[in-house]
């Protein structure tokens, strides 16, 4: 979903971040902000982005991820999921990498194949590759898919794309 206010994350080929709000009247569950809305609210894209990060952090604090163990019995990855179409926005939460630092290290990789889930992995291409087919299926089967790209997130840094689970485009 692109608009005049969409932002392309670093290294992204397929993904844009578009200012939206949750909406029960929209089929997708979200409605993009218009230029009229930005004007009426007195917002710039930068001030909206700051508010979006704060809102994502607040949502994140209310949620508990499902921790998934690998064959070795250790936690392999985590997933946030639910009915809200805003789960994908959790990747904007500044506190997200800090929450997983003890488990996965200072850098995490996240994927949001649909708007109802966010997968959190250690920064490990092999592990993400192992789940690529499942992520691709979730992306392809959702009429309102979020992103086919994998983001690197570190404390104090903006999310940047490091891979696509769809393979070569």
Whether the pLDDT of residue 61 is over 90: the answer is yes
Q: Domain range for residue 73? A: 20-164
Residue 128 lies in a domain: yes
Residue 6 lies in a domain: no
* Within-domain flag for 139: yes
Q: How many domains does the chain have?
A: 1
Distance of CA 5 to the CA centre of its chain: 18
pLDDT at 24: 79
Instruction: Let me know if residue 8 belongs to a domain.
Output: no
Residue 40, domain member (yes or no): yes
Q: Residue 104 has which token pair?
A: 């996965």
Q: Read off the pLDDT of residues 62-114 as tens digits, 9 standing for 90 and up.
A: 999 999 999 999 999 999 999 888 888 899 999 999 999 999 999 999 999 99
pTM for the whole thing? 0.88
Establish if 72 belongs to a structural domain. yes
By the 8 A CB rule, do 84 and 20 touch?
no
| 3-state SS, residue 57 | helix
pLDDT at 100: 98
């Amino acid at each position: 979903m692109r608009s005049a206010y969409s932002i392309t994350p670093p290294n992204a080929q397929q993904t844009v971040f578009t200012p939206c709000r949750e909406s029960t009247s929209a089929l997708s569950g979200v409605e993009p902000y218009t230029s009229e809305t930005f004007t009426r609210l007195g917002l710039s894209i930068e001030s909206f982005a700051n508010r979006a990060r704060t809102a994502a952090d607040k949502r994140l604090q209310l949620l508990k991820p499902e921790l998934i163990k690998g064959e070795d019995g250790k936690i392999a990855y985590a997933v946030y999921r639910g009915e809200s179409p805003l789960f994908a926005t959790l990747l904007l939460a500044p506190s997200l990498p800090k929450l997983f630092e003890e488990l996965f290290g200072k850098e995490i990789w996240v994927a949001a194949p649909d708007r109802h889930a966010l997968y959190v992995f250690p920064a490990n291409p092999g592990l993400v590759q192992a789940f690529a087919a499942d992520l691709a299926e979730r992306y392809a089967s959702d009429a309102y898919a979020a992103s086919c790209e994998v983001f690197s997130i570190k404390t104090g840094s903006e999310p940047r794309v490091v891979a696509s689970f769809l393979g070569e485009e």
